[in-house]
Structure 1
Amino acid sequence: MTEAARAAAAVPSGLRGQPALDDLVALLDLEKIEENIFRGVSPAESPVRVFGGQVAGQALVAAGRTVPPERKVHSLHSYFIRGGDPRVPIVYEVDRIRDGRSFTTRRVVAIQHGKPIFALSASFQIDEAGIEHADEMPSVPDPETLPTFGESLAGYTDKLVSSRFPRPIDVRYVTEAPWMSREDGPAEARSQVWMRADGSLPDDQLLHVCVLAYASDLTLLDSVLMRHGVYWGLDKVLGASLDHAMWFHRPFRADEWFLYDCESPSASGNRGLATGRFFSRDGQLVATVVQEGLVRVIKPSS
């Protein structure tokens, strides 16, 4: 057995594939405890803080549950206020800001221990025809020709804490995996990965959007770190999402391959800015993401 095959086998089957995806779907199926109030939980295997993509996805579910299904989410803007505690439930309070003829606006606050940890505003719109244009998808290898996430972890499974948590999203690196590229020193501030939900999802467009929101937080800030030749867990880097915005341009399925093309135009003040574009396999630009994160690199004392 090759080292790559051993690394892939080292990731327990329960942490990937349909079982992991089913757990994510259950995670996004919030409990309604009162009108405009919902409750969500975190997975049993969680990092020290609630994963940002999880709370964003759950907040978007809460907002969507108060909107007619014919109105589709087209944008979200959010702020991460405090680190979430994965050991206790999260309460989501929805404020029905506006219901117009074409657009609906919702605001959601996620609360733990009586304090807000996350705030989201989302806008929904009825389907309308109009002018159209979009960037072209970069030319990249097909996902089937690239190493699996498990194979990319060869030699690093004992060093990367993230390898021990559930992976409901199948990730294939087009650019070199950031934990490998750091050995070559600073690189271009760009990360490209193929992604898809690692299994089959129900035909629920809101669920597909929420899964994409979850996935959007997985690799976005990697583009910031690659510019400086460091990586989470392998170097002394403290990081956290500060804000996150997404625009959804066209329909898609999150259980089909999409290219996530990310780059970082700037980093300063211990903050890194990253932008991302999601393309469907047939080349359609389906979503755009912008995030600023805390990226604090602790240099060793001389």
Structure 2
Amino acid sequence: MSKLLKLLDVRPGQGADSWIGPASGPAGKRAYGGQFVAQSLAAAIRTVDADRPATNMHLQFLRGGEAGDDVEYSVTRVFDGRTAAARRVDSFQGDRLLTTATVSFATELPGPEHGRRPRLPQDPDGLPRTGPAGPAPSMPLDELDIRIADSGSGDEFVRRFWWRATPSLPDDALLHTLLAVYVCDVYMIDPALQVHGHSMRARTHRSGTTDSSIWFHRSVRADEWNLLETVSPAAARGRGVVTGSLIRADGVIAATLAQEGLIAERT
């Protein structure tokens, strides 16, 4: 079985609405943040009717997790209405609360639509294969094709992060959404440092995501090219914000993302 698919296949826990997310490994390393986002969403989805896809998700990172250990996800059914639902998801290792998230779901309704890019900046097939913007020991990088093509500097810096999953994937829209959530977290806060000529790879600053938000607009195929295009509009008080669009190969904007992260000077 694909490592990616196994990682996102949460299994029932001991209590009601309790789910177990598989460890990502290796032991002794800090767990990757995208694992918590994707597994939290996977757990919440298990408690909602299939005709109500996720519309938005907001997750706070409270403590770092151990990559070598499973994660327990406790889902609270906050609301179930005629067309919408809401869930809270808390993640634990032992008695340590690691993350807390809220997820909203709703049936699809007719209405005005927009959000399409008429022209994308590059052909990803013509770009060199780069991998993520830093070391990612918890990610199965052999199952991901990542190509980064940044542009600009200072306030004009733009991160263009092309990615696709390489394993054979089932035709399951929810699974493709989970994979997108998982991949798009990797080093997303890095542009807040790149504006100032730094990077998370250089480890000149204390850095890491503290808060992550996603608004889901349309379906995505994780086994086709997708572009995560991000900028950092502001930073202060040792924290930066990054905003971005997840754009499909056909130019359709599938999701809008925002993250806050720590970018404090080391003392």
Query: TM over 0.5, yes or no?
Result: yes
Q: Is the 8 A contact 1:45 1:166 kept in 2?
A: no
Structure 2 residue 96 is the aligned partner of structure 1 residue 115: yes
Aligned pair 1:162/2:136, yes or no? Answer: yes
Unaligned runs of 5+ in 1: 1-18, 154-159
SS at 2:136 equivalent = helix
Matches of 1:275 and 1:36 in 2, distance apart? 32
| Partner SS state of residue 283, structure 1 | coil
Q: How many residues align?
A: 265
CA distance in 1, matches of 2:201, 2:219: 36
Q: Report the residue type matching 2:144 in the other structure.
A: I
2:71 is the counterpart of 1:93: no
Q: Spell out, residue by residue over 1:147-195, the C-alpha distance to the aligned partner (whole angstroms, 9 max, x if none).
A: 0125x99xxxxxx54379531332111226xxxx9xxx85733201211
| Equivalence map 1:1-302=2 (5 Å) | 22-33=2-13, 34-45=15-26, 48-134=29-115, 136=117, 139-149=120-130, 161-162=135-136, 166-167=140-141, 168-175=143-150, 188-298=156-266
Q: Contact 1:96/1:105 (CA < 8 Å) preserved in 2?
A: yes
Q: Cα offset for 1:90?
A: 1.1
Amino acid at match of 1:77: H
Deviations, residues 38-61 of structure 1 (Å, cap 9, x unaligned): 111322336732111001100100
State the distance in 1 between where 2:195 and 2:103 align: 32
SS in 1 for 2:241: strand
2:8 maps to amino acid: L
**Aligned residues of 1:77 and 1:120 also touching (Cα < 8 A):** yes
Q: Quick check: 89-98 or 185-194, which moved more? A: 185-194
Instruction: Tell me which amino acid in the other structure corresponds to 1:101.
Output: R
Instruction: Please give the alpha-carbon distance, in whole angstroms, between the structure 2 residues aligned to 1:232 and 1:187.
Output: 17
- TM-score normalised over the length of structure 1: 0.81
Classify the secondary structure of the residue corresponding to 1:225: helix
Aligned residues of 2:30 and 2:66 also touching (Cα < 8 A): yes
Shift in Å, 1:237: 2.2
Q: In proportion to residue count, which structure has more helix?
A: 1
1:278–1:101 CA distance, 2 compared to 1 (3 A): same
Q: 1:165 to 1:28 in 2, by over 3 A?
A: closer
Q: Identity over the aligned pairs, expressed in percent?
A: 34
Shifted more, 267-276 versus 86-95: the winner is 86-95
Question: How many angstroms apart in 2 are the aligned matches of 1:270 and 1:127?
Answer: 39
Give the conservation status (yes or no) of the 8 Å contact 2:118–2:251: yes
Higher-Rg structure is 1
1:196 to partner: Cα distance: 1.3
User: How big is the shift at 1:216?
Assistant: 1.5
Task: Quote the Cα distance in structure 2 between the aligned partners of 1:215 and 1:164.
Answer: 12
- Aligned-pair CA distance for 1:199: 2.5
Q: Distance in 2 between matches of 1:187 and 1:130?
A: 35
Rounded to whole Å, the distance in 2 between the matches of 1:220 and 1:271 is 13
- The one-letter amino acid of 1:259's match is L
The whole-number CA distance in structure 1 between the counterparts of 2:111 and 2:230 is 28
Give 1:14's aligned residue: none
Contact preservation (8 Å) 1:187, 1:229:
no
Structure 2: gaps (5+ residues):
none
Distance (whole Å) between structure 1 residues aligned to residue 203 and residue 211 of structure 2: 23
Give distance in 1, aligned partners of 2:78 and 2:182: 24
Summarize deviations over 1:4-49 as a string: whole Å, max 9, x none.
xxxxxxxxxxxxxxx7xx1121011112023200111322336732
SS in 1 for 2:156: coil
In structure 2, the CA distance between the partners of 1:238 and 1:102, relative to structure 1 (3 Å rule), is: same
- Call closer, same or farther: CA 1:165–1:133 in 2, change over 3 Å: closer
The TM-score with structure 2 as length reference comes to: 0.91
Cα RMSD between the aligned structures? 2.3
Which one-letter code corresponds to 1:45 in the other structure? Answer: P
